[in-house]
Amino acid sequence: MSQPLPAAALKRLVEARMNELAEVQEDDERVFANDVEWHEPDGSGRNWDMRGYRGPRGYGTEIRLLVDRMRREYRLSEEAETHPGECSSSGTFTGCAKKTSRAS
């Protein structure tokens, strides 16, 4: 079972692991995580994703592989979910617009 984390903590962890990538360190660069986005759990139980990143180009493939591994390892916690019409007060959870659209 994957470990649940709140959106802000998951984003910080993703960013830390992105900056630990060998290529990023070898190039003495720094990259920044975009917000994690909640979605309905897929067939594997994954309920979040992160589209792209901020920073120098050229690390996209490695970062996508890292995010895909982390999606298997962690899930966005129930704390991160908001009720229809509400968004997280932290402002870090960008999935609220998608989430409100599923309320029926």
Q: Which of 27, 37, 82 is nearest to 57 (CA)?
A: 27
* Higher-pLDDT residue of 102, 44: 44
Residue 48 confidence (pLDDT) above 50: yes
Residue 53 confidence (pLDDT) above 60: yes
Q: Which of 47, 50, 43, 45 is nearest to 102 (CA)?
A: 47
H or E element: which one contains 25?
A: helix 22-26
Six-digit token string for 62: 């490695």
3-class SS at 43? Answer: coil
* Rounded CA separation 41/23 (Å): 31
Calculate what percentage of the chain has a pLDDT beyond 70.
74
3-class SS at 97? Answer: helix
pLDDT at 2: 82
Six-digit token string for 14: 């993703």
Q: Which of 30, 8, 11, 28 is nearest to 19 (CA)?
A: 30
pLDDT at 25: 97
pTM confidence score: 0.74
Six-digit token string for 70: 């982390």
